[in-house]
Structure 1
Amino acid sequence: METDELAARIRAGERRALARAITLIESGRADHRAQAQALLDALAATPGSALRIGLSGTPGVGKSTFVESFGTMLTGQGHKVAVLAVDPSSARSGGSILGDKTRMERLSRDPAAFIRPSPSQSALGGVARRTREAVTLCEAAGFDIVLIETVGVGQSETMVAEMTDLFILLMAPGGGDELQGVKRGIMEMADLILVNKADGDLKPAAERTRADYAGALKLLRRRPQDPDGFPKAICVSALQEAGLAEAWREMQALAAWRRETGHFDARRAEQARYWFAEEVRRGLLARLDHDAAMRTRMARMGDAVAAGEIPVARAAAEMLALLGTAP
């Protein structure tokens, strides 16, 4: 399919064309990368204005159940919701079972929703290699809310905050010790902490956990992009769909305040700068992977370092000099 035709179909909201375009941008083939860039250039004239929401949490906390219940609530209010669900990949094969879409059976049948599972492959940060470009495609297709579900919580998972407007952290009841587990890095990124599974016998534990997190958030340094009372912790039950409306009101209030005060656009600009630098870094690494002479030199340097013939720092400096990036 020609680039112009594919772009036109995406603007028309064709789900099959959108799925095909995401497959194209996720491809590592050189010819596909060229086509993907041409497609993104063609869609650049229609910038999206979707609210981008990142969602992270420990495995088993109920992210998929929350996304399905939350997404169904949003489509019921007239929104068009795109879900980019990133699954952890095998370190050996790079494959993934991509089970998130299977769990979201009800949302996957919703005509106002689009779910795209992708393997994280070798990418860090809890997102797939081209998740940010997939967000651009979803916005061009007319989706006004894009949910990015990451693979889990960790120090490297904070990259999702660099491509979203709101970063939501989903936690489980009885997680007093999890304050230590998630560390300050992930806590400082969160705009809203949702304690899930606040139902049945777990409801009292969820309330205590919410209070623990609320107290911990007050100890963090105040961020300029937050109004009074943010970030905050709320109890929700994705299974019983309780607390979802309150969580959505808080997200809307925070996004509206940031738009009014200029923080929203400033953050988008910072993110664009970040991803420009990231693409340059990835391009330099790609040269090492795809240039035969560079691979040979890397292997030779690696052997010398392993044999103790040259210090690691000096070997790295020589390789960077070859790439023309020596400081």
Structure 2
Amino acid sequence: MTRRSKTMKRRHSTNQYVEGVKEGSRAWLAKTITLIESNAAKHKDQAQEVLKELYSSTGAAIRVGITGVPGAGKSTFIEKFGLYLCEQGYKVAVLAIDPSSSVTGGSILGDKTRMEELSKHPRAFIRPSPSQGTLGGVHRKTRETMLLCEAGGYDVIIIETVGVGQSEFLVKDMVDFFFLLTLTGAGDELQGMKKGIMELVQLICINKADGDNRERARIAKGELETLLHVLAPNDQEWATKVMTCSALYEEQVADVWSVIQQYVLHMKSIGRFEQKRSEQLKQWVRTLINDQLLASFYQHPVSKASLAHTEKELTAGNVTVAEALEDLIGQYEANIVLKYKKEGL
């Protein structure tokens, strides 16, 4: 038996992936996500076949995005929040994104260690994935992974992002409810917090509001509420809320879920929930177009050769940046047009 035939024999069928996910198998869900995340060309078509077969089983879950400043206790909060939801009868999937090193490309992927109790719960599924340098603190296949979890019967999908930044708008465009977990200590905290992220979220939750921090958390809550009055809300139909909690002592964690439910019910009652999801699908297509065009440019042999030559000309001072850009794009477009003419398109 050749090496190729052995590889083909080991490969799972599309139906195995589909049925495994539908049956609620965490092992098959993990295998299917690995298939979706694969960069191998031979997996691309099958991954899309699996997604197409499962698409009708998606869309029923509530999608929640969580971001936060360093040290805000995101992992502790998500574990306690997830356990609470599991105890309420929900199935919870956590898509935890780890930052990839810009030098080695590697990532920590320690989320199951950080959420050990939740990872063992039979109604929970945790999937750590490297961000691989993607803007917005999400993996490039997070959307597809989210759909697979929904097809697997998970009621609440939690996306934990790498951190706070202007590019977090990508998370907003894939979840129903997005909230910021922050810390006590209002003064410097407000100065250091980016205005952009505050305008993207439906809730700001001040964690670690326990012990000596309770009063500081109360003050921070008031100052945040005042600041929000002068900022544009993410949804015109919903005023961003501020609350305090202590994930460590499981205080007000349930209240966060109550706020999420209130938001979802409100948005559905005014017809904005499905409209928002439709808008997100359109944005997803635009994002994929951008990714595909970027990949096509850098992978094209003419672009590779032109880029190397143009960079030399640029560093030598023979062309300006604007001229270099115009020349590179012009050559790329010319080759695309030539290809279409040869193919009779």
TM-score (norm 2): 0.90
Q: Which residue of 2 aligns with 1:137?
A: 148
Structural mapping, 1:311-326, within 5 Å:
311-324=320-333
Structural mapping, 1:1-327, within 5 Å:
1-222=12-233, 224-227=235-238, 230-324=239-333
Give the length in aligned residue pairs.
324
State the distance in 1 between where 2:237 and 2:185 align. 27
SS at match of 1:247: helix
Write the deviation string for residues 222-258 of structure 1: whole angstroms up to 9, x where unpaired.
555433xx21100000000001111111110011100
* Equivalent residue letter for 1:83: V
State the distance in 1 between where 2:231 and 2:168 align. 19
State the distance in 1 between where 2:236 and 2:278 align. 14
State the distance in 1 between where 2:293 and 2:310 align. 17
State the distance in 2 between where 1:224 and 1:146 align. 21
Q: Does the CA contact (< 8 Å) of 2:201 and 2:234 recur in 1?
A: no
State the distance in 1 between where 2:264 and 2:26 align. 27
Unaligned 5+ segments in structure 1 are: none
Q: Does the CA contact (< 8 Å) of 1:59 and 1:151 recur in 2?
A: no
Deviation larger for 111-120 or 34-43? 34-43
- Provide closer, same or farther for how the CA distance between residues 320 and 104 of structure 1 changes in structure 2, counting only shifts above 3 A: same
Deviation at 1:59, TM superposition (A): 1.6
State the distance in 2 between where 1:31 and 1:290 align. 18
SS at match of 1:128: coil
Say which one has the larger Rg: 2
Deviation at 1:121, TM superposition (A): 1.0
State the distance in 2 between where 1:142 and 1:322 align. 49
Q: Does the CA contact (< 8 Å) of 1:81 and 1:114 recur in 2?
A: yes
SS at match of 1:148: strand
State the distance in 1 between where 2:34 and 2:331 align. 34
Deviation at 1:319, TM superposition (A): 2.5
* Equivalent residue letter for 2:183: A
Q: What is the Cα-based RMSD across aligned positions, in Å?
A: 1.6
State the distance in 2 between where 1:309 and 1:172 align. 52
Write the deviation string for residues 149-183 of structure 1: whole angstroms up to 9, x where unpaired.
00110112231111100001000011432323232
Q: Does the CA contact (< 8 Å) of 2:224 and 2:242 recur in 1?
A: yes
* Equivalent residue letter for 2:113: T
Deviation at 1:13, TM superposition (A): 0.8
Deviation at 1:93, TM superposition (A): 1.5
Q: Does the CA contact (< 8 Å) of 2:233 and 2:240 recur in 1?
A: no
State the distance in 1 between where 2:307 and 2:218 align. 54
Deviation larger for 124-133 or 294-303? 294-303
Deviation larger for 170-179 or 276-285? 170-179
* Equivalent residue letter for 1:160: V
* Equivalent residue letter for 1:292: P
- Provide closer, same or farther for how the CA distance between residues 103 and 73 of structure 1 changes in structure 2, counting only shifts above 3 A: same
Identity of aligned residues (%): 45
State the distance in 1 between where 2:158 and 2:333 align. 39
- Provide closer, same or farther for how the CA distance between residues 44 and 322 of structure 1 changes in structure 2, counting only shifts above 3 A: farther
Deviation at 1:54, TM superposition (A): 0.2
State the distance in 1 between where 2:226 and 2:71 align. 24
